Amino acid sequence: MELWHCVTVEMKNITVRVPEQVYRQARIRAAEQGTSVSGLVGQYLRSLVEADAEFERLAARQREIRAGLGRFSAGDRISRDELHDRATR
């Protein structure tokens, strides 16, 4: 038994002015993708929002990793001989 959930999403209309040639090419591209010009614009705007969200997620992760790193000190380095000894174990 399948249950279908209906979700109502409020949509906003926007007006976009573009040169005639851009509009023609957009209509062709939309037809090739089986959508409308409005659908193409919606997909593009969603991709912008998703890219911003992904960038912020990655930036937060980078801050988290950097916060977990200790300070680097050249005096903490091991000698070349110790390094080679570790490699041969």
Length of the chain: 89
Q: With contact defined as beta carbons under 8 Å apart, do 40 and 33 qualify?
A: yes
pLDDT-derived band at 77 (thresholds 50, 70, 90) equals: confident
Cα(38)–Cα(43) distance, integer angstroms: 9
Torsion angles phi and psi, residue 75, rounded to 5? -70, -15
> What pTM value is reported for the model?
0.57
Encode pLDDT of 19-34 as tens digits: 999 999 999 999 999 9
Task: Please give the mean pLDDT across all residues of the chain.
Answer: 88
